[in-house]
Amino acid sequence: MTGIFPMDLNLPPKVTPRAFARLAEINEGAGAAKALRVAVSGGGCSGFQYEITLDDPAPDDLVLEGAGQKVLVDTVSLPFLANAVIDFSDELIGARFVIENPNATSSCGCGTSFSI
């Protein structure tokens, strides 16, 4: 055995406590709390791009819950986000939700576009 195992594309993405905490801050001032939707669509400079929006759950969404908040992933996007980590980054260049995706073979400089 070499110690290298193939990636399991059935593992759902993970959401960090920092991402759930930031979503809670966003929803704090809102009348009705919204979930964070993370989706993948064709396009972007590397082939696929992430779409991160506030939305309501759909019947076939994977719902990830933490800290009283929800993160949604639709069934089409799920294979592209298998075993990914959804986080929140607050740096000098800006604050944003970020995706650490082990399935991506390359990505653009801004991190919103990737290829597999």
pTM of structure? 0.79
**What is the tens place of the pLDDT at every residue in 3-17?**
444 445 568 999 999
Over residues 61-79, mean pLDDT: 95
Higher pLDDT, 31 or 89: 89
What is the spatial distance between Cα 23 and Cα 61, in angstroms, rounded to a whole number?
Answer: 18
pLDDT in tens, 22-61: 999 999 977 788 999 999 987 656 578 889 999 999 999 9
98 within 8 A of 81, measured Cβ to Cβ: no
Is the pLDDT at 111 greater than 60? The verdict is no
CATH topology of domain 14-115: Hypothetical Protein Aq_1857; Chain: A; (2.60.300)
Can you give the residue ranges of every domain in the chain?
14-115
What does the pLDDT read at residue 50?
87
Q: Is the pLDDT of residue 91 over 90?
A: no
